[in-house]
Amino acid sequence: MVLRAGVAGAGVFGGYHAQKYTESVKADLRGIYDLDGERAKAGAEKQNCKNFTDYDDFLDAIDVLTIATPASTHGELARRALQAGKHVLVEKPIALDLETADELIALAADNKLTLQVGHQERYVFEAFGLLDRPFKPKRIESRRLNRFSGRCMDVSVVYDLMIHDLDLIVQLLDAEPCETIASAEFVHGDHSDHTETLLRFAEGEARLAASRIVDDPVRDIRLVYEDGEVHLDFLTRKVTNTTPTPLARDFEQGDDAPHAFRDPLGFGTEQFLQAAKTGNPPIVTGGHGRRALQMALEIERAAGQI
């Protein structure tokens, strides 16, 4: 069965999602929705599908959708889609408050619908085997530092960038922090553009930095275990591993490399479509998205933003 697919949001990232549906044999891209009619039209023409500015009409034309709109709209658009009986892949964050996240999770469960959250770094970590190690890391150091782009300014850098690493921390440690210390820097508006945080756990700690105002981008993570260290550089695609656990050499890109290395977004799309067809849970569930959101909210409170 080929599923009728749609993308809500005709921005740059929405275009990437639309292309993945076009490339999939499991989906038939039927439409692109955006409140901006010209942008919706341009995106639809590029993908040879229909454009929509009315969300209800858009939902009537599809079975599954990706929500790639501004983060502040994720909760409302996902809620309406689930109420309409559609399977939803919502980009991170799942919502901006726990009440909305809980409502989405309940709607999906009650209506036997797939709800997947777009935490793509998880696919890479699973492909490396890092989520299957017998030891939990004692220390995690993560940096996700970008140049200013003007995108995602409706939310703080915690929801925009750091939340990727929060999802990884949830999976790696499977624990709630005992203490959260955070600082925030504001440059371009009311939402933080640079945040640093220290999360202390019963057994270990995590230090994270996320920014959208640096001159020299950095995207890496260091995992310190009792039996060695793993360092992943997402920009140079280099891996350093001193643990006894064999890992893939760098981020393999050949035809034989894991799909998650070659195309994380495409891999996530295929996993979503498969879950929607079979009813099996996706890799990143609504519950996973909620746990990352809960940690993000704690960081926002610690930094004095809420």
List, edge to edge, every strand of the sheet that includes 204-211: 179-185, 194-201, 204-211, 139-145, 218-225, 228-233, 238-241
Q: Domains of the chain (ranges plus CATH)?
A: 3-119+265-285 (3.40.50.720), 121-258+291-302 (3.30.360.10)
- The two counts, helices (H) then strands (E), for the chain are 11, 13
- DSSP-derived pairing of the beta strands 204-211 and 139-145: parallel
Q: Tell me whether the omega of the peptide bond preceding residue 93 falls within 30 degrees of 0, making it cis.
A: yes
List, edge to edge, every strand of the sheet that includes 115-118: 50-52, 27-33, 3-8, 64-67, 87-91, 115-118
Closest to 9 (Cα-Cα) out of 51, 45, 49? 51
Please list the pLDDT of the chain residue by residue as tens digits (306 residues): 899 999 999 999 999 999 999 999 999 999 999 999 999 999 999 999 999 999 999 999 999 999 999 999 999 999 999 999 999 999 999 999 999 999 999 999 999 999 999 999 999 898 888 988 888 999 999 999 999 998 888 999 999 999 999 999 999 999 999 999 999 999 998 899 999 999 999 999 999 999 999 999 999 999 999 999 999 998 988 889 999 988 876 676 667 778 888 899 999 999 999 999 999 999 999 999 999 999 999 999 998 876
Position 249 scores a pLDDT of 64
Closest to 135 (Cα-Cα) out of 191, 97, 173, 176? 173
Residue ranges of E strands in 139-236: 139-145, 179-185, 194-201, 204-211, 218-225, 228-233
Please say whether the beta carbons of 300 and 134 come within 8 A: no
65 DSSP β-pair partners? 6, 88
DSSP 133: -
Spatial separation of the C-alpha atoms in residues 292 and 128, rounded to whole Å: 21
* Residues 6 or more apart in contact with residue 71 via CB below 8 angstroms: 91, 92, 93, 96, 152, 154, 155, 159, 160
CA distances to 24, 86, 267, 272, 283 from 60, rounded to whole Å, are 21, 9, 26, 20, 27
Structure tokens that stand for 120 in this block: 């793509």
Please say whether the beta carbons of 230 and 239 come within 8 A: yes
Spatial separation of the C-alpha atoms in residues 252 and 122, rounded to whole Å: 16
The pTM for the full model equals 0.94
